[in-house]
Amino acid sequence: MILLTGGAGYIGSHITLALLDRGDDVLVLDNLSTGNRWLVPEGAKFVEGDCGDTALVEALVAEHGITAAIHCAGVISVPESVEKPLLYYDINVGRAVRFFAAATAAGVRHLLFSSTATVYGALDLDMLSESLPMAPVNPYAASKAMTERALADLAATGAANVAVLRYFNVAGADPAGRSGQVSKQATHLIKIAAEVVTGKRDHISVTGNDFATPDGTGVRDYIHITDLAAAHLVALDALVADPAESLTFNVGYGHGASVLEVLDAVDRFTNSRMRRVPAPRRPGDVARLVADTSAIRARLGWEPKLDDLDRIVADAIAWERKLAARA
């Protein structure tokens, strides 16, 4: 049985689906702070609780014979982290460390952690490779970098082996429509654009047009959620196959799109033009984040299947329409 925190959220629910699809047993632990109970896929066990609750985590590991843990629970917004830094250190460092301590104390030997491309900071490079030093420039990124460091130190003791996956910009939804992103206050570009398409909002703000990029807007490496989820399965298998090895991988496609290119893709899909309103840069934002993906491809044999911005946008909008019909 695999323990997965944050499984009532966007990414965790898709990883749960991927694990269940291949026949693994999954126990989801989530405090529903941003997640939704109805997003936890049927077939997974669910416990409502905090990942930093040591007694609860130890009891769950013992009761369910947990062998591996995937830690997706966390707070995720760069601008919010600038406003509320200590919340980010509390949840993404404090509670994460307590979670890993409790899990390993109770006997879990394989750990997988949701990290982020933003740990690289504001390097002006075409591609970011895992060999670069972490240089976070906002509290969200710093919180993830600290937990990465704690896990490296833990792995060095031999208590567990660890896979750190540095996600680039995750978007889209399960192609079968079983899950997708649900946000009370969306902050992600493609999610917000999809809300404009369904009429939940009347415009999109383009936050910054003076970055050092070809069209002045931020460039990101958008990856389909289904490809991201698949990376967790192969990473988990690698941890189990070689308990002496720990791994750190970028998970992206290796090419970027600007904000304007993303909005063009949405307009292509709807065959209309959404209202674009210029807005100031958001605090903490960097110009460009694009993955060097050679390591995960070479070591894990991971290959994307849905590497297509139009496909990502189409799946995001299909999910948004489903949510709108549900409301």
Ligand X SMILES: O=c1ccn([C@@H]2O[C@H](COP(=O)(O)OP(=O)(O)O[C@H]3O[C@H](CO)[C@@H](O)[C@H](O)[C@H]3O)[C@@H](O)[C@H]2O)c(=O)[nH]1
Ligand Y SMILES: NC(=O)c1ccc[n+]([C@@H]2O[C@H](COP(=O)([O-])OP(=O)(O)OC[C@H]3O[C@@H](n4cnc5c(N)ncnc54)[C@H](O)[C@@H]3O)[C@@H](O)[C@H]2O)c1
User: Which residues are near ligand Y by CB under 6 A?
Assistant: 5-6, 8-12, 30-35, 50-52, 72-74, 76, 91, 95, 114, 116, 167, 169-170
Element (H, E) at 259: helix 259-270
Output the smallest distance, CB 213 to ligand X, in A.
Answer: 9
Output the smallest distance, CB 41 to ligand Y, in A.
Answer: 13
141, two tokens:
């990124």
DSSP lists the bridge partners of residue 207 as 279
Residue (74 or 254) nearer to ligand Y, CB: 74
The phi, psi pair for 38, rounded to 5°, reads: -70, -10
Helix (H, G, I), strand (E, B) or coil at 146: helix
Decide which of ligand X, ligand Y, none touches 91; Cβ closer than 5 to 8 Å per partner kind: ligand Y
Residue (5 or 248) nearer to ligand Y, CB: 5
- Give me the active site residues, please: 140
Output the smallest distance, CB 232 to ligand Y, in A.
Answer: 11
When binding is defined by CB under 6 A, the residue of 204, 225, 251, 265 that contacts ligand X is 204
Spell out the alpha helix ranges (H) of 160-245: 189-197, 225-241
Beta strand 219-220 pairing with 257-258: antiparallel
Decide which of ligand X, ligand Y, none touches 282; Cβ closer than 5 to 8 Å per partner kind: ligand X
DSSP state of 214: T
Residue (14 or 110) nearer to ligand Y, CB: 14
DSSP state of 91: I
The window from 16-24, 90-98, 202-210, 239-247 that contacts ligand X (CB under 6 A) reads 202-210
Is 74 in contact with 115 (CB distance < 8 Å)? no
Element (H, E) at 69: strand 68-71
| CA–CA gap between residue 327 and residue 306 (Å, rounded) | 29
Q: What is the largest CA-CA distance in the chain?
A: 57
When binding is defined by CB under 6 A, the residue of 84, 282, 299, 311 that contacts ligand X is 282
* Torsion angle of C-alpha atoms 167, 199, 6, 1, degrees rounded to 10: -90
Scanning residues 97 to 116, which ones bind ligand X (CB under 6 A)? Answer: 116
Decide which of ligand Y, ligand X, none touches 220; Cβ closer than 5 to 8 Å per partner kind: ligand X
DSSP lists the bridge partners of residue 71 as 5, 113
Decide which of ligand X, ligand Y, none touches 114; Cβ closer than 5 to 8 Å per partner kind: ligand Y
Output the smallest distance, CB 245 to ligand Y, in A.
Answer: 23
Decide which of ligand X, ligand Y, none touches 180; Cβ closer than 5 to 8 Å per partner kind: none
Residues that bind ligand X (CB under 6 A): 76-78, 116-118, 167-169, 187-189, 192, 204-208, 218, 220, 259, 282, 285, 289
